[in-house]
Amino acid sequence: MTAAVSLQNVHKVYNNLTVVNDLSFEIQAGEMFGLLGPNGAGKSTTIRMLTTLTKPTQGQIEVAGFDIVRQPLQAKQNIGVVLQQTSVDGDLSVWENMELHGRLHHIRNPQRQQLINQWLEYVELADRQGDLVKTLSGGMKRRLQIARALLHQPQILFLDEPTVGLDPQTRRRLWEIILDLNKQGMTMLLTTHYMDEVEYLCDRIGIMDGGKLISLGTLAQLKSQYGEGLVMKQVGDRWKYLFFPDLPQANAYLDRQSDKTGMMVRPSNLEDIFVELTGRQLD
C-alpha cells in the first residue's frame, strides 16, 4: 500500500541554518498523525513543505502519491490546509470566502453551491454565511478555515496548531470535528505543542526537537518504551524523574528507600516522556 504521506531524509536550510534535519516518516491512509514539539522545532516548516508552500532543500516528499516538487498541482488537489495564521479574508463574508476558494479550485456550480452549503452546515456556520468574517469569533474562523479546506474534497488534511489561542470549550468543539472527519476516513496530520491534544486525538505521535524527529510511535508504544511507572523526587526546587517499566516496579523502588521525603510515584504521561527526551518543558 502506498503511504498517504511519505518523507525521506528531508532537510530544510534557511540561510545556512538547518531547521529540518533528516526527517523521515510515513503516514498511512486514514491515520491521524500528530507532530509534537516546542516552538522552533520545525513543525510549521515541515507542514509548509508537505503542502508545497516551500521546497525541501534536500530529500523526497510524496503526498497522496505525488512528488511535491515535480507534481505540486496534483499534490495540492488532494490536500486541505489549515494554517496557523488565520488566512480567511476578514472583509469578505463567510459565504464569499467559501465561494472564492471553490472558484480557485474550479469547482463548478451547482456542485460548488451544494458543497459550500454542506460544509458550512457541517461546521455549524450556515446561519452566519452572510456575515463578514471579521465579526466571527476565533473558534468560528477556525471552523470556517476547516470548511474551506474541505471544499475541494481532499483526501488528506493538514492542520498547523489548530487550537492555539482558543478557549477550552472551543478547543473541545474543534477536537470533535477533527475526530469526526478522521472517523469518516480523512487522513490527517496536525502539529501542536499541546500534549493533551495529541494524547486525545492522535493514532501516532512524532516528537520533533531542533529540526529532528526524536521519537515516533503510538502513545502506548512511547510509554512502554520509556517506562509506564515514574518516581518523582524533589531535589532542591526541581523534580528529578526516574522511569520504571511499570508502576509496581516504581513502587518497589520507593519502598526500598530509607528516606522517602519528597518522593512520589505515579503513572508516566506524554509530558514526562517529552521532558525526558528534550530536557525541556513545553510552553
Residues that bind ligand ADP (CB under 6 A): 14, 19, 37, 39-45
Alpha helices, H only, the chain: 43-50, 72-77, 94-104, 111-122, 138-150, 168-183, 195-201, 219-226, 247-256, 270-278
**Least Å distance between CB 19 and ligand ADP?**
3
- The Cα-based distances of 52 to 5, 41, 76, 217, 224 in angstroms read 13, 19, 7, 26, 36
- Please, what is the minimum distance in Å from the beta carbon of residue 146 to ligand ADP? 19
- Rounded to the nearest whole angstrom, what is the least distance from the CB of residue 145 to ligand ADP in the complex? 17
Task: Decide whether 40 or 262 has the Cβ nearer to ligand ADP.
Answer: 40
Which C-beta is closer to ligand ADP: that of 44 or that of 145? 44
Q: Cis link prior to 110 (omega < 30° from 0)?
A: yes
- The smaller minimum CB distance to ligand ADP, of residues 172 and 280, is found at 280
Query: Which lies closer to ligand ADP via its Cβ, residue 41 or residue 63?
Result: 41
Asked if residues 181 and 188 have their Cβ atoms less than 8 Å apart, the reply is yes
At its nearest, how many Å lie between ligand ADP and the CB of residue 163? Answer: 15
**Alpha helix locations (H) across 28-137?**
43-50, 72-77, 94-104, 111-122
Distances (CA, A) of 144 to 92, 102, 157, 185, 201: 12, 13, 14, 20, 20
CB of 275 to ligand ADP, least distance (A): 17
Report, in Å, the least distance between residue 16 CB and ligand ADP.
10
Q: Cα separation of 100 and 22, whole Å?
A: 37
Burial 217-246 (b: 16+ CB within 10 A, else e): eebeebbeebbbbbbebeeeeeeeebbbee
Q: Which is nearer to ligand ADP, 40 or 165 (CB)?
A: 40
216 CB neighbour count, 10 Å cutoff: 17
- In the complex, the smallest distance separating the C-beta of residue 43 from ligand ADP, rounded to whole angstroms, is 3
Cα distances (angstroms) measured from residue 84 to each of 32, 43, 206 = 18, 11, 19
What cell numbers appear for 248 in the block?
Answer: 509496581
Closest to ligand ADP by CB, 190 or 265: 190
Whole-Å CA distances, 192 to 197, 198, 258: 7, 7, 42
Q: How far is the CB of 201 from ligand ADP (least distance, A)?
A: 18
| Residue nearer to ligand ADP on the CB measure, 35 or 107 | 35
Is the CB of 40 or the CB of 245 nearer to ligand ADP?
40
